[in-house]
Chain A
Amino acid sequence: AQSVTQLGSHVSVSEGALVLLRCNYSSSVPPYLFWYVQYPNQGLQLLLKYTSAATLVKGINGFEAEFKKSETSFHLTKPSAHMSDAAEYFCAVSGGGNNRLAFGKGNQVVVIP
């Protein structure tokens, strides 16, 4: 079975500052890892995914994440926060071939002007 831990439900960041959202996973098989973003009153949208190719993955809107097997982590970063980054971010893991995702509890990001 797979699971994901995201700490800190609410994250405040100043505009222009680094965005760092932490994700640690547990998986009994080689994992596939995803970050999704949810803007208010919308569905979840894929930011980026790791599928065993390059360990540093670049996504949309300037976000990137690095897969570290030794740390079982897949942290999401963006060098400079923008007001439009205010949203909820979910980390998810899958494995074993059934496409089922195990989601973390999410991080609500607030960007302070």
Chain B
Amino acid sequence: DAGVIQSPRHEVTEMGQEVTLRCKPISGHDYLFWYRQTMMRGLELLIYFNNNVPIDDSGMPEDRFSAKMPNASFSTLKIQPSEPRDSAVYFCASSASGGGNEQFFGPGTRLTVL
């Protein structure tokens, strides 16, 4: 298996632009998580899905952020409009159901908003 796949790996955009981050989880995993990592705040859980349904989005910072999971093999995190404070590394992770199953992380998308 190729692991969790994220694209793009790097994104540089200007303030006000729309940004879409993409994630393909490991096949057969039914949990998907989106995280944001910054020096100031560390690793933050933004939202997670179970069987393509959003379970908890309380970590999504503002209405500018939205996430979807249209099917079991694809998820997006969108920021519209983007702001410089959104600059961070965004990680996607997936796991299989069952207590004690670890999350597998993707390589991350490094977002820079100018």
Residues of A within 8 A of B (CB): 32, 34, 36, 42-46, 49, 51-52, 90, 94-95, 97-101, 103, 105-106
Interchain pairs with CB closer than 8 A, number: 53
Most buried by B among A34, A42, A43, A44: A43
- Tell me the interface secondary structure of chain A in the complex: loop
Query: Please, which residue of chain B has its CB at the minimum distance from the CB of A34?
Result: B102
CB of B48 within 8 A of CB of A45, answer no
CB of B43 within 8 A of CB of A99, answer no
Query: Please, which residue of chain A has its CB at the minimum distance from the CB of B30?
Result: A99
Which 9 A-B pairs have CB atoms at the shortest separation, nearest pair first? A51-B100, A43-B105, A32-B100, A44-B105, A99-B31, A99-B95, A46-B102, A43-B107, A103-B43
CB of B50 within 8 A of CB of A49, answer no
CB of A98 within 8 A of CB of B55, answer yes
Bound together, the chains give a CA A94 to CA B98 distance in angstroms of 11
With A44-B105, A98-B50, A100-B56 as known contacts, state yes or no: A49 contacts B100, CB within 8 Å: yes
CB of B97 within 8 A of CB of A99, answer yes
Enumerate chain A residues within 8 angstroms of B31, measured Cβ to Cβ: 98-99
Enumerate chain A residues within 8 angstroms of B101, measured Cβ to Cβ: 99
With A100-B48, A103-B43 as known contacts, state yes or no: A43 contacts B108, CB within 8 Å: yes
Query: Please, which residue of chain B has its CB at the minimum distance from the CB of A51?
Result: B100
Enumerate chain B residues within 8 angstroms of A100, measured Cβ to Cβ: 33, 45, 48, 56
User: How many Å from the CB of B16 to the closest CB on chain A?
Assistant: 27
User: How many Å from the CB of A89 to the closest CB on chain B?
Assistant: 12
